[in-house]
Structures are given as structure tokens and as C-alpha cells.
Structure 1
């Protein structure tokens, strides 16, 4: 199954800042996104208020995304440091 990638507006703002400052982080991010596209269920499911979302750690950062199997899309919602990711 091939999934389409959708980026939230907040996600685009957050990633521009981090990736300009840290190209190594960008490389790790790309590798993680490729593994998510191959196996969307690889991220850990979140609970409570964030139920239905998944997360993957990339260093000290957390990538939060949502899988929509009916429309075959993966929406990347948030990429931020761990202490700010769940707020």
C-alpha cells in the first residue's frame, strides 16, 4: 500500500528552523520518514488526549503523525523537542 504524505502548516514551520541549523538531524529525519512510509505502524501509539496518533523519537526530538487508512495518507503533525512535543 502506498501512502501519500501530508504536512501540517505548523510542521513545516518547525522543521524549517531545525533543519537549517542541524543538517545531521535532517538526515536522521529523512531516514525515519522513509521507514514510516514503508511501515506506518512502526511508531508507538499515543494515549489519552492524543489517542489515534503515533510518535517516533529522532534524537531529542519527537515526530508525531497520524495514519488515515481510508484515504491512504500519513499526516505529519508535529516535530519538536521532547519537552514541548506533547503540549
Structure 2
């Protein structure tokens, strides 16, 4: 029997995160081990940072951030270009 995939969902406990958790659990079924991790826990936040997670919800499958969850988060250059900090 093949090993089950390890799926981690990084969540802040908000409604959007809850929807993502439900979707992942529905999709994973019994073929994956799904673990929901609370970003309000300092150790979880440190693990997320080490993985390059910049926003939540985020999904990690077998130690790799899912492509749909990579490269997001606050980008200072984009905010400055949009006018933040300018009169």
C-alpha cells in the first residue's frame, strides 16, 4: 500500500481559512493525512516562515508549498506603486 500524503493547512482561523480547510479535507478524503496548523502559534508561524509562506490560508503537500499558495502576501513595492506613503 502506498504511503499517504501529508497535507498541512496553515490557517488563522478566519472564515476564508475555514473554507480552505473544508475544501482540502473534502478533496483529500482518506488518501491523505490532513493537519490544520494555527498560525497564531509561534512555532507554526516559524515553520510557515521557513517554508516561505507569506499569506494564509496556505497548503503544504509532502513538505512543498502548493503552487496556488506560493508567492503571495504583502509586497512593499506593489503597495508603494499603488500610492501608499505618498500624499
- On whether the aligned pair clears a TM of 0.5, the verdict is no
Of the two, which has the highest radius of gyration?
Answer: 2
Choose between structure 1 and 2: higher strand proportion. 1
TM-score (norm 1): 0.37
